[in-house]
């Protein structure tokens, strides 16, 4: 496994890459020819919010051993990649990945994503269908919850808070009060985020990608942890309903991060999909 850096839009981006390949047999089918390998395909992995390329190392190793080249960048603001110069939204991150794809000269590849990475993948898969051999959504975010009591409370408290803290002499208190509010609602990602990334997550959560799902034409595998509390399984079923050529695989007794909780089991599910999609 090799760690590299690449300049994307003025940002020095860190990413991990591994070269896949399986030995080819001679004509008798017995002797393995040395230094002769066949690569089965390329997998681009997009990590979730608060994650980084490190969190996918075990899955990356397993996929590589089975002949796949695997590339895992650290999103700007995560891992070893610098924070964006301003608050980004989904479109900004999608443009970043588009530039990364071009700079690394990726052509046909499988796109494997988790949580926040799923938000970006919906844009990429919808806008660049010719590049995606297959899409794998793992406990993906991107669908805005319906306006239930909790969501209704968030919406109105946010609007009231913005109005109350608009005056200049109260503006400095706005972020502190918002932190307490999000802590009350158990939004750990927002509470942990700092500076530009705090504004970024606010922009990201405002976007609903549900209308974009029918635009996805790539064959899609949806993998979900049965006990996911952050993005419950009901959203996995919505992805399955809205994406035409898709299948849903549920991992029993597992939460939001199968790549960390059961990397070998997740890799086995992924490999089954990759092999039949090649």
Domain shared by 45 and 134, yes or no? yes
Candidates 118, 131, 91; CA nearest to 213 is: 118
- pLDDT band per the 50, 70, 90 thresholds, residue 181: very low
Q: Which residues contact 232 (CB under 8 A, 6 or more apart)?
A: none
Boundaries of domain holding 185: 149-203
State the Cα–Cα distance between residues 253 and 57, nearest whole angstrom.
Answer: 22
Q: Are 233 and 160 part of one and the same domain? A: no
Do residues 44 and 121 both lie within one domain?
yes
- Give the closest residue to 250 by CA, choosing from 271, 223, 229: 223
The pLDDT of 37-65, averaged and rounded, is 91
Q: How large is the angle between the packed helices 116-127 and 90-103, nearest 10 degrees?
A: 70
Give 7-46 pLDDT, tens digit per residue: 998 999 999 999 876 555 544 555 454 444 457 899 999 9
Domain count, the chain: 2
β-sheet bridge partners, residue 138: 114, 223
Backbone φ, ψ for residue 186 (5° rounding) = 65, 35
pLDDT at 35: 44
- Examine the domain organization and report whether 134 and 191 are in the same domain: no
227, 201 contact by CB (below 8 A): no
Whichever domain contains 66, its CATH number is 3.40.50.1820
Question: What is the distance between the alpha carbons of residues 177 and 202, in angstroms, rounded to a whole number?
Answer: 14
pLDDT at position 203 is: 85
21 lies in the same domain as 91: yes
Strands 11-18 and 22-25: unpaired
Give yes or no: residues 212 and 193 share one domain. Answer: no
Same domain for 191 and 71, yes or no, is: no
**Tens digit of pLDDT for each residue in 211-224?**
999 999 999 999 99
Residues 61, 182 within the same domain:
no
pLDDT score at 207: 87
The SS3 assignment for 75 reads coil
Whether the Cβ atoms of residue 83 and residue 76 lie closer than 8 Å to each other: yes
Residue written as token pair 């020095």: 12
Contact in structure between 12 and 73 (CB atoms under 8 Å): no
Q: Is 78 helix (H, G, I), strand (E, B) or coil?
A: coil
Of residues 19, 72, 66, 39, the one with CA closest to residue 272? 66
Which residue bears the tokens 């089954």? 272
Mean pLDDT of the chain: 82
**Are 83 and 169 contained in the same domain?**
no
Assess whether 111 and 247 both reside in one domain: yes
Q: Which residue has the tokens 């799902």?
A: 213
């Amino acid at each position: 496994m090799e760690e590299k850096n690449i300049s994307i839009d003025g940002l020095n981006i860190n990413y991990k890459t591994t070269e896949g390949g399986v030995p080819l047999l001679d004509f008798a089918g017995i002797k393995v020819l040395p230094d002769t390998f066949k690569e089965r395909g390329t997998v681009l992995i997009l990590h979730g919010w608060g994650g980084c390329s490190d969190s996918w190392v075990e899955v990356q190793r397993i996929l590589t051993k089975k002949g796949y080249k695997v590339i895992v960048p650290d999103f700007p603001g995560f891992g070893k990649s610098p924070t964006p110069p301003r608050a980004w939204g989904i479109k900004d991150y999608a443009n970043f990945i588009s530039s990364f794809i071009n700079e690394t000269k990726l052509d046909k590849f499988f796109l494997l994503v988790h949580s926040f990475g799923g938000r970006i993948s919906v844009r990429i898969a919808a806008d660049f269908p010719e590049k995606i051999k297959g899409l794998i959504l793992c406990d993906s975010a991107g669908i805005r919850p319906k306006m239930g009591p909790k969501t209704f409370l968030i919406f109105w408290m946010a609007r009231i808070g913005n109005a109350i803290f608009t005056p200049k002499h109260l503006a400095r208190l706005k972020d502190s009060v918002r932190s307490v509010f999000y802590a009350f609602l158990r939004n750990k990602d927002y509470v942990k985020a700092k500076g530009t990334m705090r504004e970024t997550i606010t922009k990201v959560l405002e976007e609903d990608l549900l209308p974009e799902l029918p635009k996805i034409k790539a064959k899609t595998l949806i993998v979900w942890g049965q006990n996911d509390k952050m993005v419950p399984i009901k959203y996995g079923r919505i992805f399955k309903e809205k994406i035409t050529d898709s299948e849903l695989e549920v991992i029993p007794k597992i939460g939001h991060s199968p790549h960390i909780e059961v990397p070998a089991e997740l890799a086995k599910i992924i490999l089954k999909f990759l092999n039949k999609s090649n």
